[in-house]
């Protein structure tokens, strides 16, 4: 008797996460840039349009192709950490925490 694979072995998201600043491509090959994202609506700006466009996240994933993601915020801190090694890395992380203080 063979066991059927129920599909639980697959992991990860089926579609890329939609974030402000990401670049997507529509069916005609024109680039769109995400301006804002909510659970029920995505606001994006088309190349050559003066006003924003709207659609649902489901339509965005179905009709558009993901091109590139926006740079992550705070990328400079990780660059500082990756430049050093060993105990020096701990010192740099502590400096970053002190600089940020109570910011979240």
Domain boundaries, the chain: 23-68, 72-104
CA-based R_g, the chain, Å: 20
| One pLDDT digit (tens) per residue for the chain, 104 residues | 566 666 665 555 566 678 888 899 999 999 999 999 988 999 999 988 889 999 999 999 899 998 887 765 656 777 878 888 888 888 888 888 877 765 55
What are 99's two structure tokens? Answer: 């600089």
Residue 42 CA to residue 79 CA, distance in Å, equals 31
* Coil/strand/helix, residue 100: helix
Residue 21 CA to residue 4 CA, distance in Å, equals 42
Q: Residues 22, 7, 11, CA angle at the centre, nearest 5°?
A: 35
**pLDDT given for residue 75 in this prediction:** 65
What are 72's two structure tokens? Answer: 């992550």
The number of beta carbons lying within 10 Å of the beta carbon of residue 34 is 20
Model confidence, pTM: 0.56
**pLDDT given for residue 2 in this prediction:** 66
């Amino acid at each position: 008797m063979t066991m059927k694979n129920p599909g639980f072995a697959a992991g990860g998201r089926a579609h890329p996460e939609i974030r402000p600043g990401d670049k997507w491509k529509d069916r005609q090959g024109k680039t769109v840039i995400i301006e804002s994202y909510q659970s029920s609506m995505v606001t994006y700006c088309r190349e050559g349009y003066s006003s924003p466009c709207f659609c649902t996240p489901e339509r965005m994933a179905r009709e558009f192709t993901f091109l590139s993601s926006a740079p992550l915020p705070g990328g400079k801190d990780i660059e500082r950490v990756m430049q050093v090694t060993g105990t020096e890395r701990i010192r740099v992380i502590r400096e970053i925490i002190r600089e940020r203080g109570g910011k979240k």
